[in-house]
Structure 1
């Protein structure tokens, strides 16, 4: 059976538990090991790993990255995970589960810088690198054997070691025949893992798994499928296209195909941006329109910057509010025309806010752009809003000054509010 030592990269490590060449025990064996080319790379507890790298004294301690007093867990190390802490968990709950945890406020600029270093290493191996988030990506290494003088499995093992040595964080690798199975493989052997799911075994590997394992099937979908008597992926996979359509609706045939391990999506270097938003959690709950407007304005400014950076405009606005009891309210409003200007975003968001601010205490406010439209058609002005180009020009001028002289160089009246 094909085999690989992940410590010395020998492809003849022997049949024993230790590598015959170096004595290492991180050996991967699989019938399709050297034939598969699609890989999913996921950094292990990325934010927490970067913090532990920078503060070695925290190596054996539980570390949580997130809001210091409120908000949710952005990331946590594996020590904290053994206590039940998970990403997106409310911070008060995480602290109750792990009272001795070291809580660190996230430094997104630092994490982004390290992510760019890792991404650059990936891009030296293949042009087919598709970012999925700040800490994970999918790669297609087909046709790279001659360039790297090694099959993709060996190239990936070398990359994992390079990231660990040069960046100081570990990654887990999933190797498979397509994107879906590579992602599922990467989740099987964390941290510092290397898991393989071959094309021949994909359907049988999936069959006994609960339907919730499949990406895109959330709790609501799990309940809906259970009501139909479908709890395992094998049951879903057994549906032919017609049966899946009749029982599950328009998405049924694709869902059944994925349950069989089928995925025709290519690996594309262009990451599809589906949504852009900004949100903030308050130090203390806010309940009045007046108190909520100041942080809403700041989120509109942040959203406007993100739209401009990514080359999009907003065709509508989505307001997000989270109550003190962690109930989420989401409200949407359309814009008359596409915009990148915070004033225009704010006017629509504020109208939505005024309908929701009924005295309920809120712990979080956010604003998003939906749908996303091309930036070229933003703020061109028309008879209904002839001032749009002037607002856009004014905003760009202020942003240019801030870029040269700092954030405090130009401030609008709303920007000075607190909340």
Structure 2
């Protein structure tokens, strides 16, 4: 099949490949493109993983053509991390989640662009709509990637799922100006692996015929969930390749490694019975910030807490959800992650209620240790019709809810900055230290004049 004009031709691929004879052309017979995809199961596989190539960085290069041949890193300041790196920057060893100071050391000439999540979300939504037009079974993994199940769509789209997928990424490239890679297989685990095999602008296939042999030759880290710690544990047991898992029975792996032992057993054998689920339930809504310099005082840590609570509250309200518990996230200067949570007596969308729970959690951890990151989240989500109901036993809470609802009405007309609480005046903006005269801790709303 030609990935450019979508022409399908020829019979099953020969075992020796296209160079063995004249029956298999090197270029498309229709458009002369060399971008041909060959596989004996190409007409029968229907589970795909689509991943946009270096999404954030590619969007910035699309919008700023002068950056086309430059190394581009999307991320925060020096204390932040890399959100995305273009393929030029990756040649220098830069990768996502790398601390920014390390990325700039590896690639000092890189152009650093701050993330524009509103723009990325809008483009991601447009791409998602194109996926949904192919099949109702689309399971988003992130803003720029998703699983698709195209089983039974041949009649609707007049062609194999492989052809429909190639047409989808072709339209994304021509209409939106971004490239994407496709992994096609018979289950989600293998489709995800395949999408990473041929980036960028890739189309890789792992069929039933070669799946187990292919996996046997891969490092055990290719199995989802095998991180650095488990990989070290497996290595101590003599397991570094997937093939080393095959002699073990499932019960043995579970006894040695716990619940993940089941995954090790099945994935090593190319077995994955997970379905593509179109409506993944949101488990939590959160917001976080990384400081320019480590903070060790309770006062310094409390300053960014309120704006984070307000961000979480706004996102809950936009999503028509409410949180049944509050989560606090801290990362120490040594990159150790600390998580704390507390169940709420009643679900809430209100920033004030989130703050009143998060504040004592934070004070308990503010013991002089230096922290580089703080985050707040709402979990155990429910529909907003169950949130912030009147409570006869707590009239003060009812009053706080009414105040925040009134503030929301003002903001809906005049903007988020039109009315604020006093404590927001001393809050730390993201990536910036406040000046010495920036103070304020009152709970009373202040109306700003436009």
Question: 1:249 maps to what in 2?
Answer: 258
Aligned residue for 1:130, secondary structure, equals strand
1:258-313 deviation per Cα after TM superposition (whole angstroms, max 9, x unaligned): 22121222212202323321101223433322222121111111112223333433
Deviates more, 1:146-155 or 1:196-205: 196-205
Paired residues of 1:240 and 1:253 also in contact (CA < 8 A): no
Deviation at 1:197, TM superposition (A): 0.5
Residue 56 of structure 1 is matched in structure 2 by 65
Cα 1:255–1:369 change in 2 (3 A) is farther
Distance apart, 1:401 and its partner CA: 2.4
Q: Give the 3-state SS of the residue equivalent to 2:126 in structure 1.
A: helix
2:273 aligns with 264
Distance in 1 separating the partners of 2:43 and 2:236: 42
Secondary structure of 1:124's counterpart equals helix
Q: 381, 388, 391: which is aligned to 2:397?
A: 388
* Alpha-carbon displacement from aligned partner over 1:50-106 (angstroms, at most 9, x marks no partner): 000001111110000011333111111000001010101111111101000000011
Task: Give the deviation of 1:386 after TM superposition.
Answer: 4.4
TM-score scaled by structure 2? 0.87
Residue matched to 2:40: 31
Report the alpha carbon displacement of residue 6 of structure 1 after superposing the two structures with TM.
0.8
Residue range with higher mean Cα deviation, 251-260 or 372-381: 372-381
- Measure the CA separation in 2 of the matches of 1:287 and 1:275: 27
Determine the C-alpha separation between the residues in 1 that align with 2:129 and 2:328: 36
Change (3 A) 1:249 1:361: closer
Residue segments in structure 2 that go unaligned for 5+ positions in a row: 11-22, 429-450
Query: Does 1:71 pair with 2:80?
Result: yes
| Higher alpha-carbon Rg | 2
Alignment of 1:406-417 (within 5 A): 406-417=415-426
Q: SS state of the match for residue 367, structure 1?
A: strand
Quote the Cα distance in structure 1 between the aligned partners of 2:373 and 2:68: 32
Question: How far apart are the structure 1 equivalents of 2:390 and 2:212?
Answer: 54
Cα deviation, 1:329-383, whole Å, max 9, x if unaligned, reads 3333333333222222112211122122233333321112244445443333556
1:137 maps to 146
**What is the CA distance between 1:143 and its match in structure 2?**
1.5
Cα distance in 1 between the residues matched to 2:319 and 2:210: 40
Partner of 2:244: 235
RMSD: 2.0
CA distance in 2, matches of 1:178, 1:187: 15
Residue 231 and residue 373 in structure 1: after superposition, are their counterparts in 2 closer, same or farther (change >3 A)? farther
Matches of 1:17 and 1:274, distance apart in 2: 48
In 1, Cα distance between the equivalents of 2:203 and 2:350?
A: 46
Candidates 287, 308, 323, aligned match of 1:299 = 308
Measured after TM superposition, the shift of residue 113 of structure 1 is: 0.8
Structure 1 residue ranges (4+ consecutive) displaced by more than 4 angstroms after TM superposition = 381-384
Deviations 1:233-271 (A, max 9, x none): 223244333333333334422431122121222212202
SS at the partner of 2:34?
coil
CA distance in 2, matches of 1:61, 1:350: 44
Q: Distance in 2 between matches of 1:275 and 1:214?
A: 25
Farther-moved stretch of structure 1 (362-371 vs 104-113): 362-371
- Between Structure 1 and Structure 2, how many residues are aligned? 416
Secondary structure at 1:408's aligned position in 2? Answer: coil
Describe the shift of the 1:400–1:180 C-alpha distance in structure 2 as closer, same or farther (beyond 3 A): farther
In 1: Cα distance, 2:333 partner to 2:339 partner:
15
Structure 1 residues 388 and 264, CA gap change in structure 2 (3 angstroms)? farther
1:348 matches 2:357: yes
TM norm structure 1: 0.93
Query: What is residue 85 of structure 1 aligned with on the other side?
Result: 94
Decide whether aligned partners of structure 1 residues 141 and 358 sit closer, same or farther in structure 2, where only a CA change above 3 A counts. same
* Greater CA drift, 14-23 or 166-175: 14-23
Q: Which residue of 2 aligns with 1:12?
A: 9
**C-alpha contact (below 8 Å) 2:223/2:264 kept by paired residues:** no
- Give the match's secondary structure for 1:65: strand
> Are 1:320 and 2:317 an aligned pair?
no
- Once residues 247 and 22 of structure 1 are traced to their aligned partners in structure 2, the CA distance between those partners, rounded to angstroms, is 55
CA separation of 1:272/1:219 partners in 2, compared to 1, >3 Å: closer, same or farther? Answer: farther
CA shift in 2, pair 1:150/1:332, >3 Å: same
Look up the SS of the partner of 2:37 in the other structure: strand
Of 141-150 and 359-368, the range deviating more from structure 2: 359-368
